[in-house]
Chain A
Amino acid sequence: MSLSRRRFLKQLAAIAGSASAAGASSRAFAGAGRVVVVGAGFGGATAAKYIRMWAPDVQVTLVERNREFISCPLSNRILAGQIELVDLTRGYGALSSKYGIDIVYDEVVGINPDKQELALADGDALPYDRLIVSPGVDLLFDEIPGLRDRGARERVLHAWKAGQQTVALRRQLEAMPDGGVYALTVPKAPYRCPPGPYERACQVAWYFKTQKPKAKVLILDANDKVQSKEALFTKVWKEWYAGIIEYRPNSTLLDVDAKTLTAKLEFEEVKADVLNVVPPQRAAKIAADAGLITANNRWVGVDFLTYESIARRNIHVLGDAILAAPAMPKSGHMANQHAKVAAAAVIALLRGESPNPSPIINNTCYSFVSDKQVIHVASVHRYDPEKKTMVVAPGASGVSAAPSELEGAYAESWGKNIWADMLA
């Protein structure tokens, strides 16, 4: 497939626009290389922006199927009626107007690593010197037979990608009678946002406690224990949500009956009034199609110095799709951090230089446990040249001493700042 005339003209215009905006020389016009970024979430948008910010002579095309960014972090607050989807929605405009990124709103249908080119749904092809893929996860409905049917998936929601599903789940909770049961299933780790399910349980429980005091939250966890901030969540459930939240570990979901809203577990069946299934997850299909998946048939192995795939040269992978090192959660914050290491590495590699041999990244994940009270988990990860992986720096990890409103204010501020860091 060859580069279409339309795309070529579009790219020319983008290069001309960015070059003049930066007041760059003709050398910059020629460009230090072409980078294509797939996926404009926490990883991809950050990578695209930082490459242009740090190297205005590198041409960047960003491919994204959605017209707007919607943040998954903080979206559980919608379930408690605290915020609305619009509060989590941001535009991509500044990435093109301020940073000269060519944004293509389209779907990638294939990657050809040998030709260094990717195919778009509209028929165009995009060539690259370096490709950055930040594709997120696919939800594996096939592993839950009762959810293979689309109609079933409209009744039993996941709401694990923020958007209309989140709003629809809120409506289901509002329509649920007082005295009803909301059941939430958690897949085996690793999955996107380790504390997310437990935060969600708190948000729904807070709503029930204040509006439907006889309703219950039932957490059916495939894991043997709470996967993040365990002591803090457990304490909050006991002290604030006693009689509302019930936690059942080792409860692997095998199937659902979407008509009766029944969760079928190994040893029992649980009927709910609102059934919310967080399915098992895998690096998104585009990663699988490109031959990038190297671990457990699920995740993409990368070199943590560059985030380049260990399976395909010139393709870098960020975010939830990668096989993370121990204690590196699948979080938006981490994806933002991967992106900056990858951005610097891609610029260096395009210039024939060596990437930074000792990258450092960090994580901060805030969880709302009521309308205003928040807890966090945080960590700093440094590259270990002997182990060739990221390790937690000694002493540089931990959780909140206790829930606080101060951290609630920090969590809201974190959202505004990280969205600005990637988009503004």
Chain B
Amino acid sequence: MKHRTSSIAGWALLVALGLAYPAAAQDQSARSLAANCTGCHGPSGNSSGAIPTIAALDRAYIVTALQEFKAGTRQATVMHQHAKGYTDQEIEVLADYFSKQKRP
């Protein structure tokens, strides 16, 4: 239990300093959301085979593609169904996350 207390104290300190907590919370939320995509698109969005790699794509391109899938204006087999499950803000978060992932 000792380590748990120190961990909370650590977070509390960071929050008090107004530094890392909001960014860390955002990072955690982004990585959890992005984890939705990696089952099909591969680790960090790096795909093997026919499914497109989405790691390191241009942020604006990802937003446009997902919005067009969502609107049904872009050719798709399955992405028009998935894209409808995410809000505009979540699409921004996903685009930001995958645009920053590295390719091997």
| Residues of A bordering B, CB below 8 Å | 27, 30-33, 50, 54, 333, 336-337, 340-341, 344, 350-353, 356, 359-362, 364, 376, 378-382, 393-398, 400-401, 404, 406-407, 409-410, 412-414, 416-418, 420-421, 424
Whether B33 and A424, one on each chain, are in contact in the complex, defined by CB atoms closer than 8 angstroms, is: no
What separation, in Å, do the CA atoms of A396 and B84 have in the docked complex? Answer: 5
What separation, in Å, do the CA atoms of A381 and B84 have in the docked complex? Answer: 11
The 8 A CB mask of B8-52 against A (1 = contact, 0 = none) is: 100100000000000000001101110110111111000111110
Q: Is the interface of A mostly helix, strand, loop or mixed?
A: mixed
Whether A420 and B42, one on each chain, are in contact in the complex, defined by CB atoms closer than 8 angstroms, is: yes
What separation, in Å, do the CA atoms of A358 and B4 have in the docked complex? Answer: 24
Taking the nearest CB of chain A, how far is it from the CB of B97, in angstroms?
14
The 8 A CB mask of B74-88 against A (1 = contact, 0 = none) is: 000110111111100
- Inside 8 A of B36's CB, which chain A residues have their CB? 337, 340, 360-362, 380
Number of chain B interface residues as a range: 35 or more
What separation, in Å, do the CA atoms of A337 and B36 have in the docked complex? Answer: 7
What separation, in Å, do the CA atoms of A100 and B95 have in the docked complex? Answer: 30
- Inside 8 A of A410's CB, which chain B residues have their CB? 40, 50-51, 77-78
Whether B35 and A380, one on each chain, are in contact in the complex, defined by CB atoms closer than 8 angstroms, is: no
Taking the nearest CB of chain A, how far is it from the CB of B72, in angstroms?
9
What separation, in Å, do the CA atoms of A407 and B41 have in the docked complex? Answer: 14
Whether B81 and A32, one on each chain, are in contact in the complex, defined by CB atoms closer than 8 angstroms, is: no
Whether B8 and A352, one on each chain, are in contact in the complex, defined by CB atoms closer than 8 angstroms, is: yes
The 8 A CB mask of B57-100 against A (1 = contact, 0 = none) is: 00000000000000000000110111111100010000000000
Give 27 pairs: A residue, B residue, CB < 8 Å, sorted on A: A27-B3, A32-B4, A33-B3, A54-B31, A341-B32, A350-B4, A352-B4, A353-B8, A360-B36, A360-B86, A379-B81, A380-B82, A380-B84, A380-B86, A396-B83, A397-B81, A398-B80, A407-B78, A412-B49, A413-B40, A413-B47, A413-B49, A413-B51, A418-B40, A420-B48, A421-B42, A424-B43
Given contacts A341-B32, A413-B51, contact A421 B39 (CB under 8 A): yes
What separation, in Å, do the CA atoms of A30 and B7 have in the docked complex? Answer: 12
- Inside 8 A of B31's CB, which chain A residues have their CB? 54
Which of A32, A396, A414 is within 8 Å of B7, CB to CB?
A32
Most buried by B among A32, A360, A404: A360
Whether A417 and B48, one on each chain, are in contact in the complex, defined by CB atoms closer than 8 angstroms, is: yes
What separation, in Å, do the CA atoms of A361 and B41 have in the docked complex? Answer: 15
Whether B77 and A400, one on each chain, are in contact in the complex, defined by CB atoms closer than 8 angstroms, is: yes
Whether B84 and A395, one on each chain, are in contact in the complex, defined by CB atoms closer than 8 angstroms, is: yes
Whether A409 and B7, one on each chain, are in contact in the complex, defined by CB atoms closer than 8 angstroms, is: no
